[in-house]
């Protein structure tokens, strides 16, 4: 099996990839993640996943590089990681009672052949109507300041939702494992 390299510094992506029982290295890509003027969320997620894989591939002679990036979209607004409690509160208040879309780009790049498999995995979250008090209680218990959308679905954040729609709930955390297993099989890596 060729070496696997995760093009990410995200502890969430690292934990997800570990679930597949594969040996891999991590290498943090150094790219500009700013959206281009007028760029849609799905296009941004795909572009960044490809750029991350390419940036990390330049540091290795061979192997398969896994690039992934997630973009959160509420209406026509792209949401990043809030970084502060105030911005997290603002994001959650804006999401209350609405459907918010998450687009997770995935790129598996074979350094040796130069071939890539890239896709976007959509996932939609339907938020409950939330009060400011509910949001504040959530943020006191689980301040998800490093998560787009300001919640952790794998934790207490699940209580903020009415329902979720999508093929792979792992994509909501940041790495679509079902699509990754399919892509790895295309490059001769069977899981399990």
Residues acting as catalytic residues = 69
**Terminal alpha carbon distance of the chain:** 13
Measured CA to CA, the distance from residue 41 to residue 100 in angstroms comes to: 12
The candidate with the shortest Cα–Cα distance to 105, out of 51, 153, 42, is 42
Whole-angstrom Cα distance, residue 135 to residue 152? 13
Distance, in Å, from the CA atom of 149 to the CA atom of 192, rounded to the nearest integer, reads: 32
Q: Is 59 helix (H, G, I), strand (E, B) or coil?
A: coil
Considering only CA atoms, which of 178, 183, 185 is closest in space to residue 50? Answer: 183
């Amino acid at each position: 099996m060729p070496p696997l390299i995760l093009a990410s510094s995200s502890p969430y992506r690292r934990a997800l990839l570990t679930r597949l029982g594969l040996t891999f290295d991590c290498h943090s890509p150094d790219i500009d993640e700013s959206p281009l003027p007028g760029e849609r969320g799905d296009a941004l997620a795909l572009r960044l996943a490809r750029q991350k894989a390419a940036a990390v591939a330049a540091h290795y002679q061979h192997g398969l590089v896994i690039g992934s990036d997630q973009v959160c979209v509420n209406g026509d607004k792209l949401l990043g990681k809030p970084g502060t409690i105030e911005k997290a509160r603002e994001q959650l208040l804006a999401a209350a009672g609405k459907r918010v879309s998450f687009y997770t780009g995935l790129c598996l790049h074979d350094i040796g052949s130069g071939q890539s498999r890239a896709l976007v995995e959509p996932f939609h979250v339907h938020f409950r109507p939330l009060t400011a008090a509910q949001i504040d209680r959530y943020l006191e218990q689980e301040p998800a300041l490093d998560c787009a959308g300001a919640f952790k679905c794998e934790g207490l954040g699940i209580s903020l939702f009415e329902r979720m729609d999508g093929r792979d709930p792992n994509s909501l955390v940041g790495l679509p494992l079902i699509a990754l297993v399919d892509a790895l099989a295309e490059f001769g890596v069977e899981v399990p």
